[in-house]
A and B are shown apart, each in its own frame.
Chain A
Amino acid sequence: QSALTQHASVSGSPGQSITISCTGTSSDVGGYNYVSWYQQHPGKAPKLMIYDVNNRPSGVSTRFSGSKSGNTASLTISGLQAEDEADYYCSSYTSSNTLVFGTGTKVTVL
């Protein structure tokens, strides 16, 4: 159950678009359309932003979108805003019927 791989940090200026990647294997990310993305502000519980690769829960801004290619999933934030500064984690269902999280990416708005 190795953690999915994410870059430690990504930054962008307000209004720009950024993409966060999440790399796993054919036993998790590549094998199922069950990738989720979470946003976590300091001291707060995570918030679901994307589920099943590219679906947004009700209330989540359309600036957030998800995709997947092979063993790598991506979260794109368009029109970056100051409030988007947070930690982001991907998660995937696995062939062992377990869940696995990514290592996390800190997004900084310059």
Chain B
Amino acid sequence: QVQLVESGGGLVKPGGSLRLSCAASKFTFSDYYMTWIRQAPGKGLEWVSYISSNGRTMYYADSVKGRFTVSRDNAKNSLYLQMNSLRAEDTAVYYCARIPRSGGSCDYWGQGSQVTVSS
């Protein structure tokens, strides 16, 4: 069964940085686009970023562009999200998910990692 496990979340002060990781297993990681999606407390889902299977193409939501960077290491079956200049409004559960085909549908999701930005 496909597994995605996020880690790296925690409490950080405004303006600080955090790096999330997503460890993938039970599928050929290098064949798939991957994405990050977040959910603020009591709010809906918000798409954050996705990266192509070879890591050469990345797209970002306007709300994080210039502050967040998505990357991957196919040799380590891992996806990353470097988050800089964090703001209170970045507080959310961050999910990584697999994109199996064109169009962006996400068929497997991790359990989520909590990021809290507060002084």
- Please measure, in the bound complex, the distance between the C-alpha atom of A87 and the C-alpha atom of B110, giving whole angstroms: 18
Say how far A84's CB is from chain B's closest CB, in angstroms: 18
What is the size category of the interface that chain B forms with chain A?
Answer: 20 to 34
> Smallest CB-CB separation from B98: which chain A residue?
A48
What residues make up the interface of A, taking CB atoms closer than 8 Å to B? 1, 3, 32-34, 36, 38, 40, 45-48, 51-52, 57, 87, 89, 91-93, 96-104
Q: How far is the CA of A104 from the CA of B60 in the complex (A)?
A: 21
Known interface pairs A45-B110, A91-B104; 13 further A-B residue pairs with C-beta atoms within 8 A, sorted by A's residue number: A32-B103, A34-B102, A36-B105, A36-B106, A38-B45, A45-B111, A51-B107, A52-B101, A52-B103, A92-B104, A101-B37, A101-B47, A104-B45
Closest to A45 in B: B109
What's the dominant secondary structure at chain B's contact region?
Answer: loop
Can you give 15 contacting A-B residue pairs, CB < 8 Å? A1-B61, A3-B46, A34-B103, A34-B105, A36-B106, A38-B45, A48-B106, A48-B107, A89-B45, A93-B103, A96-B59, A98-B59, A98-B61, A100-B47, A103-B44
> What is the interface of chain B, defined by CB distance below 8 A to chain A?
35, 37, 44-47, 50, 59-63, 95, 101-107, 109-112
Given contacts A1-B62, A45-B112, A99-B35, contact A93 B104 (CB under 8 A): yes
